[in-house]
Structure formats: C-alpha cells, structure tokens
Amino acid sequence: MKKIMTSILMIILLTGLTAAPGVIKPEAGKKSNRVFDILFINGKIIDGTGNPWFYGDVGIIGDKVAAVGPLKGDATAKRTIDITGKIICPGFIDIHTHAYDRISSDKVWTGENEKRFFAPNYVSQGVTTLVSNQCGTSPLSIRQQKDILLDTGIGPNALLHIGHNSVRRHVMKGDFQRPATDEEVTKMRAFIRKAMKDGAIGLSSGLEYVPAIWSTTDEIVALMEEVVPYGGLFQAHERASGLTPMWYVPSQDAPGPPNMIENIEELIEVAERTGGKVIATHIKARGKNFWGASQAIIMLIEDARARGVDIWADCYPYNTSGSDGRIVLIPDWALGRGAENDLEAVLRDPVRKKALVDDIKHAINWRGGTENIIVMDHPNKNYIGKNIAQLARDKGKSDIEMIIALQLNGNPDIPGGARLRGFSMAEIDIEAFSAQPWTCTSSDGSIALPEDGPVHARFYGTFPRKIRHYAMERKVLSIEDAVRVSTSLPAQILSLRDRGLLREGFAADITVFDPETIRDTATFFEPHQFPSGIPFVLINGVFVVEEGVLTWKRPGRVLTPLIDPSPEK
C-alpha cells in the first residue's frame, strides 16, 4: 500500500496537478528572469473563486496582474513586499453604493471637498470598485457624469446606473402620483436607451420612494426592454422590506400595501417577462412581525433560479438600516403646528389619540420593538445609549407614553424630539441571506468624511465586518466565500471580465489583509472610524492604501463592460 501511495504522489507531482491556478512555471533548469513592478511574496492567496487559499506570490506589471504562484525564486521586482501571515485577494467590489449618485456638475465637490472623489471610507476597507446611482437616483446624463468623474479623478473604479426615479420625475414633472401613460413611458424609454448607449450598466429603481411608488410592473418591464439588449441589469430597492412599506401609516393609508414577498414576486416577473438580469438589492426581512421571513424569500428566489430566472441579491452585514439613523415613531400628521394640529391637541382628542397610538404601535413593530430602538441624541444626556423600553421602565411609563414624552420634552427642532436608531432586522435573517451563494456583499453607503456628522457604520465597516463577524466569528460562510461574494460574484453579475479574480492579465485591483487583525471599528456613536488590518490596497496597479496609510491617489476608472448592440456608424 505504501508503494502504491508513493507512486500516486509521484504521478501527481510529475503531471503538475499540485500547481495552484494561475501559476506561471519556468522551464526546468531555467530562471524566468521576469522583472515585476511590484511583487508580493509569502502571502496566503485567496483568488476570489471560493477555492481554499494557497501559499504564493503575486507579481504586478503596470496596471495588470502579471503572475500568481511561487515566484520569488524566479523573479525580481522594483519593489518586493513580504506579506507573510497575510491574505492577498482581489479588491472588493461594492455592488450597491450611493457614492456618486448626485454628481451631475463639476461644481458639486470643490476645494477641500474634492477629496471625496478619493472615497477614503471605501478604499480603507479594501474596496476597489463601486456601483453607484442606486435606488432610482442618478443624473439624467450618464455621459456628463462619466466625463466629470474621469476629468476630476476617482479613487475606486465606478460603474453607473441610470435612475428610474430621476427619469420618471423629469418626464412626468409634478404629476407623478399615478401610472405613466404610454406616451410618458415612451419618453422614459428614450432616456434609458440613451443612458445605456452612454455607458450605464443598467436601471436602478427606488420602488419604495417617490415617484416610483406609483409605477407599475408594466412600466418597469417596458424600461427594462431598453436595458436587456446591452446585457444590463435591474437593481431594485424594494416596494417594501417587511409586511408594509416605510411610508405606510395605518390611520392614513388604505390597507393592503405591498409587502416584501410580493416585491420579490414582482422582481421575478420582470426578469421572466424581459429575460433580463435582476438584483434584489439590500435584501432584508424588516420588522419584528416579519423576522424569519428570509426562508420564504430564499425559497422564492431558489425556485425562480431553478427555472432559469436570472435573479441575484446583495446584503449589508448589519441589523439596522437608515443612513443617519434618524427614525421617527410619531407620524407626521400628529406633528403639525398650530392650536388644532400639534401633538398636545391630538392627545386631547380621544379619536385622534387612538389613531396616534395605533400608528405608533405599528412604527414600533416596524422598527424592531422598543428594546431595539436606541436613543442616539437627546437634550437629557442620561437618555443617550438607552433603549426606549429601558427608559420607559425607569420612568414608570408605558412605551407609548415614553415615546410621546421624548417629543414633548425633547429637542423641538427634531421630529420625535430625539435622534433614534432602530435595529429592525434579526441576525437569523441576515445570516440566512448572507449564506446564499447568490448574495453579494454591499454597503448601501456613500462617500463619507468626518465633518458629515452621523452616518451608518456600514459606510466604513461593511467588508471587514463580513470577514470578521460573519465568516471568522459566526462561521456563516468561510473566509474564502466571504471574499468570493465580495469579488468574483459581483464581477460576474456586472459582466466584468478582467476583475474580481487574482489571475494573470486581470486588472491589478488588490487587497491585502491580516486575518488576525482585520475588523470594523466604526460604531453608531463614532461611525467615522477606519477599519483595522488592511495594510495594502491597489487600484489599477496604484497604491491607494500603503502600509496602512491612505495615499489619496485617484487611479480609478469608469467601467463600461456592456456592449452596444447597435453601435452608431
């Protein structure tokens, strides 16, 4: 038996089957004498495929990966970096950001604010490519937006959607609280077609936001018919992320609004009717009465994929939503001003008081319950950091009474009297979504600087958190898969054929991290904190993070991977 095993090992060695993917091996007895610009040696290579890591080196020439494998004995470099104990992988691709959504003029960020184009909170996470213009918001001219980004220079690479909401508002002007007419849809289609020709990667929509709330499935299908010939995609902010949309107020709105299940069904219908690619973006099961619904959503998507529907998802690794956390539990109608419309007047009216209490109960449930709603700021500093249930107990009040007291005794300039953040998702659902092989990592964030004030921790910590918390600590997926869903998976969805993998000839978008120290450090009280454990990040072969320090270089490109099916001659 020992002789047989020895023979098998010899055959494997002789046939080169132990060589790692992408390895360039010199002929026997010869040196390669290759000279790289940058050579990372002694790394643990995670190549983006999801395969197990392997020891090796990565050589870079110009803006490309030139070789991957055991190289250091057969090559020299202008700069050699020893990354013993660290992992080297493709740069992360954030498939849902709002980084450049509103860039329609070169006057948007000037002077000191021009450093926003570097996107420091993203490159510090190892992110090398951003997909922008999400949730239906974009400039009307993608060509102009591209020109501004290229002329100014950007840190990470960028891909751009055309925004459904922006186009719908432009075409329908102020009269948008209804389905679009055939003529209006035709005008919208022309905008979408022009955007695709100019390099958009697809259509984004904010179906829970004005004015897309009033759009129909037929309208979306018609617009997608302009996207599909280019191989583009539809990335849709849901009509609802729980049992009801964010805009629903029981005392004011008719019963039976769309829910998250119906939203996924509509997304599948759009894909089936058009043959297009769709993404259920920042997928979630929101609201205490909806926790656990991830399993039903996953089943819907799995069934659709099994019959050939091109549907994917992305998910951020946090159990709270909202960019700045400014949630309000008291409805707008009860926060009017004047003798008959202010909160105290509502409380004196038994009929309106009952409607108010019912609306607050609905808001509490949708935000995750009072034990999951935290006071982030209030004139009474003793309240900060406590949840509403705890404050109510301390004050001997009911939850509803405490919420009303926060308004009456709080900051009169803030709706609700206090800045509150609701933790409205359950870990069981986040883990379930994150474990799916078709779910990418995303931040749903934007470019942030410390002077911006409160922002979501995901702006700074998404990708390190996915690796540390969900892969290494919770073991929802392996580190290799945490890298895969942040690199090659979004690259595949976006039709990027030269990024997302560590492969010879691919763009040198590279992240190096230390598995011992990588972690997100941003908190909801102190969100402007860069992560730790990411010493090197390169974009197109240029260091944007070097020895853990931001370089402020802007080597990013606007990527247009799709092909015009009918180019102008």
Q: What is the band of 4 on the pLDDT scale with cuts at 50, 70, 90?
A: very low
* Nearest-angstrom CA–CA distance, 149 and 560: 13
- Is pLDDT of 14 > 70? no
Q: What is the band of 413 on the pLDDT scale with cuts at 50, 70, 90?
A: confident
Distant-in-sequence, close-in-space partners of 75: CB < 8 Å, separation ≥ 6: 32, 33, 34, 35, 36, 39, 59, 67
- Is pLDDT of 473 > 60? yes
| Mean pLDDT taken over the chain | 92
Residues in the chain: 569
Instruction: State residue 241's pLDDT score.
Output: 95
Distant-in-sequence, close-in-space partners of 474: CB < 8 Å, separation ≥ 6: 431
391 and 411 in a single domain? The answer is yes
Domain end marker among 21, 52, 85: 85
**Do 196 and 167 contact (CB within 8 A), yes or no?**
no
**Do 533 and 514 contact (CB within 8 A), yes or no?**
yes
Residue range 87-95: mean pLDDT, rounded: 98
Instruction: State residue 220's pLDDT score.
Output: 98
Is 566 a member of any domain? no
Is 565 a member of any domain? no
Instruction: Look at residue 105 and give its three-state secondary structure.
Output: coil
Residue range 23-32: mean pLDDT, rounded: 44
Is 559 a member of any domain? no
Instruction: Look at residue 543 and give its three-state secondary structure.
Output: strand
Q: Which of 178-187, 425-434, 531-540, 555-564 has the lowest mean pLDDT?
A: 555-564
268 and 289 in a single domain? The answer is yes
For residue 382, what are the CA distances in angstroms to 372, 374, 416? 18, 12, 17
Q: What percent of the chain has pLDDT over 70?
A: 92
Paired tokens of 553: 């270089």
Instruction: State residue 325's pLDDT score.
Output: 74
Q: What is the band of 22 on the pLDDT scale with cuts at 50, 70, 90?
A: very low
Query: Which residue's structure tokens are 């992408």?
Result: 22
- Is pLDDT of 281 > 90? yes
Is 557 a member of any domain? no
Listed residue (77, 157, 159, 75) closest to 537, CA to CA: 157
Listed residue (52, 57, 104) closest to 84, CA to CA: 57
113 and 156 in a single domain? The answer is yes
Listed residue (568, 552, 559) closest to 161, CA to CA: 559
- Quick: pLDDT tens for 132-172: 999 999 999 999 999 999 999 999 999 999 999 999 999 99
Of 268 and 12, more confident: 268
Instruction: State residue 487's pLDDT score.
Output: 98
Domain end marker among 394, 422, 450: 422
Listed residue (273, 100, 274) closest to 200, CA to CA: 100
Q: Residue 337, exposed/middle/buried by CB under 10 A (0-12, 13-18, 19+)?
A: exposed
Instruction: Residue 399: give the domain boundaries.
Output: 332-422
Residue range 113-119: mean pLDDT, rounded: 91
Listed residue (360, 362, 389) closest to 375, CA to CA: 389
506 and 455 in a single domain? The answer is yes
Q: Which of 26-30, 82-86, 222-226 has the lowest mean pLDDT?
A: 26-30
- Is pLDDT of 31 > 80? no
Instruction: State residue 324's pLDDT score.
Output: 78
Is 568 a member of any domain? no
Residue range 385-391: mean pLDDT, rounded: 97
* DSSP H/E element including 48: none
- Is pLDDT of 469 > 90? yes
For 567, other C-beta atoms within 10 Å of its C-beta total 7
Paired with 512 in beta bridges are 88, 536
In CATH, what number is assigned to the domain containing residue 45? Answer: 2.30.40
431 and 409 in a single domain? The answer is no
Beta strand ranges found along 257-367 (DSSP E): 277-280, 311-315
Is 555 a member of any domain? no
501 phi and psi, to 5 degrees?
Answer: -135, 150
Instruction: State residue 567's pLDDT score.
Output: 61
Q: Which of 72-86, 97-111, 368-382 has the lowest mean pLDDT?
A: 97-111
| Per-residue 3-state assignment (H helix, E strand, C coil) for 441-509 | ECCCECCCCHHHCCCCCHHHHHHHHHHHHHHHHCCCCCHHHHHHCCCHHHHHHCCCCCCCCCCCCCECC
- Quick: pLDDT tens for 334-362: 987 655 558 999 999 999 999 999 999 99
316 and 342 in a single domain? The answer is no
- Is pLDDT of 19 > 60? no
* DSSP H/E element including 366: helix 350-366
Instruction: State residue 337's pLDDT score.
Output: 60
Listed residue (234, 166, 173, 172) closest to 204, CA to CA: 234
101 and 143 in a single domain? The answer is yes
Instruction: State residue 424's pLDDT score.
Output: 96
For residues 291, 437, 258, 271, the Cα torsion angle rounded to the nearest 10 degrees is -170
Domain end marker among 422, 449, 471: 422
Residue range 51-55: mean pLDDT, rounded: 98
Omega cis (within 30) before 211: yes
Instruction: Give the predicted TM-score (pTM) of the model.
Output: 0.93
- Is pLDDT of 449 > 70? yes
Q: What is the band of 326 on the pLDDT scale with cuts at 50, 70, 90?
A: confident
Per-residue buried b or exposed e for 522-561, using 16+ beta carbons within 10 Å of the residue's own CB: bebeebbbbbbbbbbbbbbbbbbbeeeebbeebbbbbbbb
In this structure, which amino acid lies at residue 226? E
Instruction: State residue 565's pLDDT score.
Output: 84
Instruction: Look at residue 551 and give its three-state secondary structure.
Output: coil
455 and 407 in a single domain? The answer is no
Query: Which residue's structure tokens are 């979004």?
Result: 490
For residue 172, what are the CA distances in angstroms to 200, 220, 242, 501? 22, 15, 29, 43
Q: Please, how many CA atoms are within 13 Å of residue 187, restricted to the half-sphere of its CB? A: 14
In CATH, what number is assigned to the domain containing residue 441? Answer: 3.20.20.140
- Is pLDDT of 227 > 90? yes
Listed residue (334, 367, 135) closest to 251, CA to CA: 334
Instruction: Look at residue 338 and give its three-state secondary structure.
Output: coil
Q: What is the band of 91 on the pLDDT scale with cuts at 50, 70, 90?
A: very high
Residue range 250-271: mean pLDDT, rounded: 95
338 and 464 in a single domain? The answer is no
2 phi and psi, to 5 degrees?
Answer: -60, -40
For 479, other C-beta atoms within 10 Å of its C-beta total 22
291 and 145 in a single domain? The answer is yes
Total tally of structural domains belonging to the chain: 3
- Is pLDDT of 459 > 60? yes
Instruction: Look at residue 151 and give its three-state secondary structure.
Output: helix
Q: How far apart are the first and last CA of the chain?
A: 69
- Quick: pLDDT tens for 290-305: 999 999 999 999 999 9
Of 412 and 402, more confident: 402
241 and 350 in a single domain? The answer is no
408 and 443 in a single domain? The answer is no
